[in-house]
C-alpha cells in the first residue's frame, strides 16, 4: 500500500511538472507586472494541485473536505514578500492562509516553505492558533503543501466604506473653508451626537477604562482629539507596524474621532465615548493583515496588555453585488473575528454601501435585495447601517439610499442591519476636516462602537451578546423597514438607562 501511494505521488508530481513546464513564462511575468489575471497554464497548475491533493487524500482514506484553490492571479494579488507586482527568478507568488489539521503537518509545512524559492516567504504565524500560518507561495510550493495535508485559503481584499472612494458614483464632499459648498448649515458631528443622545448619556458614562480598537487606514498623529494618555502604546504587528499613528488616506481618523474623540483633549467635537482609550490599527485591509491584527488584539487582551473591556470597530467591507466566493464560513479571517467574540470582545461592523446608485443600482426606495456580505453580516457581530438627519435611507437624492440592505448573507437568527446611525456634515478627515453629504456606513459603525464603550464602562463584565441586545432593544424606531434600518437609530441615553435599571 505504501509503495502504491508513493508511486501515485511521484506520478502526480511528474504530471504537475509537465503542466508547469507548459506555461508561457514570459506571458505570465508580463501579466503579473501589469496586474492582469494569471495565464491559463498557471491557473491549471494550481487547479491540478488541488485536484491531485483531493484524489490523494481519498486514496489514503481521508474523508474530510479539501479546499480547492482555483481562483488565482486576481488584480492586486501578485506579491513577492508582500510587494505587489513583483516577480522573481521567473516565479510569482500569492498570499495564502495555510491551515493544518495538527502540529506535525504545520512543522512539515514550514519546512516546505523554507525550502521554497525566494518568492515563498512565511509572513505571519498565528499567536492564537498554532495551526494557522500566512505565507506568500508560488504554485509549486502551494501544491507541495496540499500534499502534506495543509488546506489553503486565498487572501481577500476589502475596502473602506466611506461612500466616496471605491464607488463609481460616490457622494460629494467639500473642504470646510469652501464657502461655495451647499452644506454650511447642515451641521456635523456635534449634531449627530445630539441625534443619538450621546451628551445625555455622558453624565453617567463617557467610556472610561474601555479600549476601542479602530481597524482602518490609521489615525493622524497630530489630531487634537486624542490626548497622549488615551493613545494605547500597542504597536500591532501588521503591514504597518510602527506606522499606526499615520493616516495618509484620512478615513481611519474620521472613524476614530467619531468613536472616541474629545474636546477636552483639544479636539473640535466629542465622539460618542470621549474618555475611552484608542488603539490605532492601520491595515492594508487584506484578510491576512486583518487576521493578524485580530490575532494581536486577542493575544494582548489575554495577556493583560489591554486591561479592561475591548471593542473593535471595523468600517471596511466588500464593494460588490453578490457574495465573495473566496470568503466562506470556515475562512480563517472569520474564525479569528469569532474567536475575539468568544474572548468577550465586542465587534462592530459597517453594513456596507452597496444598495442603490453607488454600486448595485437597486431601487433606492426598496428594502432589498440583501447586499450585506461576509463577516459584516454575521449574526454574532453588530452590523450598522446609516440614515440621513431625518432618519431615512430610502429617499433620493440623499446618498444614504446606498446603505446596504438586509437580512445579510450570514445573519442567521439576527437579521442585519442591527441598527442605524445618522451621518452627515463636517467631520474629521486625516489631520483636517471635510464637509460630506454622508460618511457612509463607515461613519455609523464607530458610533455603535462608542456606545458599546459607554455600556462597558459601567458594567465591564457585559458579554458581546448582552451589548448587542441592549443596543437593539433601546434603539428608536424608525418608519423604514427592518432590512433598511434594523431596530432603529441608536439611543445612547436609553441604552445606558436600561443598563442601570436592570
pLDDT reported for residue 26? 40
pLDDT reported for residue 162? 58
Asked if the model's pLDDT at residue 43 lies above 60, the reply is no
Higher-scoring residue by pLDDT: 69, 208: 208
Lowest mean pLDDT among 91-95, 171-175, 185-189, 364-368: 171-175
Q: Domain containing 437: what range? A: 159-501
Do 242 and 379 sit in the same domain of this protein?
Answer: yes
Residue by residue, DSSP assigns 126-149 as: -SS-TTEEEEEE-HHHHHHHHHHT
Do 343 and 396 sit in the same domain of this protein?
Answer: yes
pLDDT reported for residue 48? 37
Residue by residue, DSSP assigns 418-477 as: -EEEE--EEEEETTEEEEES--HHHHHHHHHHHHHHHHHHH-TT--HHHHHHHHHHTSBP
Asked if the model's pLDDT at residue 490 lies above 50, the reply is yes
Provide the percentage of residues in the chain whose pLDDT is more than 90: 70
Compute the distance between CA of residue 34 and CA of residue 30 in angstroms, rounded to an integer. Answer: 6
Which of 129, 154, 179 is the last residue before a domain boundary? 154
Cβ 256 vs Cβ 225: under 8 Å: yes
Q: For 72-110, what is each residue's pLDDT tens digit?
A: 333 223 333 333 333 444 457 899 999 999 889 999 999
pLDDT reported for residue 161? 66
Do 113 and 229 sit in the same domain of this protein?
Answer: no
Using the 8-state DSSP alphabet, how is residue 377 labeled? G
> Hey, how many other C-beta atoms are within 10 angstroms of the C-beta on 151?
24
Provide the percentage of residues in the chain whose pLDDT is more than 70: 76
Do 102 and 45 sit in the same domain of this protein?
Answer: yes
pLDDT reported for residue 14? 38
Higher-scoring residue by pLDDT: 40, 214: 214
Compute the distance between CA of residue 169 and CA of residue 427 in angstroms, rounded to an integer. Answer: 21
pLDDT reported for residue 164? 57
Residues 6+ apart with CB under 8 A from 289: 238, 239, 283
Q: For 400-421, what is each residue's pLDDT tens digit?
A: 999 999 999 999 999 999 999 9
pLDDT reported for residue 466? 98
Q: If DSSP codes are grouped into helix, strand and coil, which group holds residue 42?
A: helix
Do 334 and 357 sit in the same domain of this protein?
Answer: yes
Average pLDDT for 325-336: 95
Do 294 and 257 sit in the same domain of this protein?
Answer: yes
Residue by residue, DSSP assigns 90-106 as: TB-BEEEEEE-SSHHHH
Q: For 180-201, what is each residue's pLDDT tens digit?
A: 445 445 689 999 999 999 999 9
pLDDT reported for residue 156? 95
> What CATH number should be reported for the domain holding residue 390?
3.40.50.200
Do 147 and 177 sit in the same domain of this protein?
Answer: no
**Which among 432, 406, 361 is positioned nearest to 167, based on CA atoms?**
361
Q: What is the pTM of this model?
A: 0.82
pLDDT band, very low/low/confident/very high, at 35 (cuts 50, 70, 90):
very low
pLDDT reported for residue 449? 99
Do 101 and 205 sit in the same domain of this protein?
Answer: no
Lowest mean pLDDT among 87-96, 139-148, 196-205, 385-394: 87-96
Which of 88, 119, 154 is the last residue before a domain boundary? 154
Compute the distance between CA of residue 77 and CA of residue 95 in angstroms, rounded to an integer. Answer: 7
Mean pLDDT score of the chain, rounded to an integer? 82
Residues 6+ apart with CB under 8 A from 391: 420, 422, 476, 478, 479, 480, 485, 489
C-alpha cell at 112: 516546505
pLDDT band, very low/low/confident/very high, at 239 (cuts 50, 70, 90):
very high
pLDDT band, very low/low/confident/very high, at 163 (cuts 50, 70, 90):
low
Do 240 and 365 sit in the same domain of this protein?
Answer: yes
Do 252 and 141 sit in the same domain of this protein?
Answer: no
Asked if the model's pLDDT at residue 213 lies above 50, the reply is yes
C-alpha cell at 419: 441598527
Number of domains in the chain: 2
Q: For 242-260, what is each residue's pLDDT tens digit?
A: 999 999 999 999 999 999 9
Higher-scoring residue by pLDDT: 318, 179: 318
Do 84 and 148 sit in the same domain of this protein?
Answer: yes
Higher-scoring residue by pLDDT: 206, 19: 206
CA 279 to chain centre: 16
Cβ 448 vs Cβ 421: under 8 Å: yes
Do 148 and 171 sit in the same domain of this protein?
Answer: no
pLDDT reported for residue 87? 41
Query: How far lies 396's CA from each of 2, 114, 228, 357, in Å?
Result: 68, 56, 42, 10
pLDDT reported for residue 75? 27
Compute the distance between CA of residue 450 and CA of residue 456 in angstroms, rounded to an integer. Answer: 10
Burial class (CB in 10 A: 0-12, 13-18, 19+), 57: middle
**In b/e form, how buried is each residue of 474-489, taking b as 16+ CB within 10 angstroms?**
bbbebebebbbbbbbb
Which of 154, 186, 214 is the last residue before a domain boundary? 154
Q: For 288-316, what is each residue's pLDDT tens digit?
A: 999 999 999 999 999 999 999 999 999 99
Amino acid at each position: 500500500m505504501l509503495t502504491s501511494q508513493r508511486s501515485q505521488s511521484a506520478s502526480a508530481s511528474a504530471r504537475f511538472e509537465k503542466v508547469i513546464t507548459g506555461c508561457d513564462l514570459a506571458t505570465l511575468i508580463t501579466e503579473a507586472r501589469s496586474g492582469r489575471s494569471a495565464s491559463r497554464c498557471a491557473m491549471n497548475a494550481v487547479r491540478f494541485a488541488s485536484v491531485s491533493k483531493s484524489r490523494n487524500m481519498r486514496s489514503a482514506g481521508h474523508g474530510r473536505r479539501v479546499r480547492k484553490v482555483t481562483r488565482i492571479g486576481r488584480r492586486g494579488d501578485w506579491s513577492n514578500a508582500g510587494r505587489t507586482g513583483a516577480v522573481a527568478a521567473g516565479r510569482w507568488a500569492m498570499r495564502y492562509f495555510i491551515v493544518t489539521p495538527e502540529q506535525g503537518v504545520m512543522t512539515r509545512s514550514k519546512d516546505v516553505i523554507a525550502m521554497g524559492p525566494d518568492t515563498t516567504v512565511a509572513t505571519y504565524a498565528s499567536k492564537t492558533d498554532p495551526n494557522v500560518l500566512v505565507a506568500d507561495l508560488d504554485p509549486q510550493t502551494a501544491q507541495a503543501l496540499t500534499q502534506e495535508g495543509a488546506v489553503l485559503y486565498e487572501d481577500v481584499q476589502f475596502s473602506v466604506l466611506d461612500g466616496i472612494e471605491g464607488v463609481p458614483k460616490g457622494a460629494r464632499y467639500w473642504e470646510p473653508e469652501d464657502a461655495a459648498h451647499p452644506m454650511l448649515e447642515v451641521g456635523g458631528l456635534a449634531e449627530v451626537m445630539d441625534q443619538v443622545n450621546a451628551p445625555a448619556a455622558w453624565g453617567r458614562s463617557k467610556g472610561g477604562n474601555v479600549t476601542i480598537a479602530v481597524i482602518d487606514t490609521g489615525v493622524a498623529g497630530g489630531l487634537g482629539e486624542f490626548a497622549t494618555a488615551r493613545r494605547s502604546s500597542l504597536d500591532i504587528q501588521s503591514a504597518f507596524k510602527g506606522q499606526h499613528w499615520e493616516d495618509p488616506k484620512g478615513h481611519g481618523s474620521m472613524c476614530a474621532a467619531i468613536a472616541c474623540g474629545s474636546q477636552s483633549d483639544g479636539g473640535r467635537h466629542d465622539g460618542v465615548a470621549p474618555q475611552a482609550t484608542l488603539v490605532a490599527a492601520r491595515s492594508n485591509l487584506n484578510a491576512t493583515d486583518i487576521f493578524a491584527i485580530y490575532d494581536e488584539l486577542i493575544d494582548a487582551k489575554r495577556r493583560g496588555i489591554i486591561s479592561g473591556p475591548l471593542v473593535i470597530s471595523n468600517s471596511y467591507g466588500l464593494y460588490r453585488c453578490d457574495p465573495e466566493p473566496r470568503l466562506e464560513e470556515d475562512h480563517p479571517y472569520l474564525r479569528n473575528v469569532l474567536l475575539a467574540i468568544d474572548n468577550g470582545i465586542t465587534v462592530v461592523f459597517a453594513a456596507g454601501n452597496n444598495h442603490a446608485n453607488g454600486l448595485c443600482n437597486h431601487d433606492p426606495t426598496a428594502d432589498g435585495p440583501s447586499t450585506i456580505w461576509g463577516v459584516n453580516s454575521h449574526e454574532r457581530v453588530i452590523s450598522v447601517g446609516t440614515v440621513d438627519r431625518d432618519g431615512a435611507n430610502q429617499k433620493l437624492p440623499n446618498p444614504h439610499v446606498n446603505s446596504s440592505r438586509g437580512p445579510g448573507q450570514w445573519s442567521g437568527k439576527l437579521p442585519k442591519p442591527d441598527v442605524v446611525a445618522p451621518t452627515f456634515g463636517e467631520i474629521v478627515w486625516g489631520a483636517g476636516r471635510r464637509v460630506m453629504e454622508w460618511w457612509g456606513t463607515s461613519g455609523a459603525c464607530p458610533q455603535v462602537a462608542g456606545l458599546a464603550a459607554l455600556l462597558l464602562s459601567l458594567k465591564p463584565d457585559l458579554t458581546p451578546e448582552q451589548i448587542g441586545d441592549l443596543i437593539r432593544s433601546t434603539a428608536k424606531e424608525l418608519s423604514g423597514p427592518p432590512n433598511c434600518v434594523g431596530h432603529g437609530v441608536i439611543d445612547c441615553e436609553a441604552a445606558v438607562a436600561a443598563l442601570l435599571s436592570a
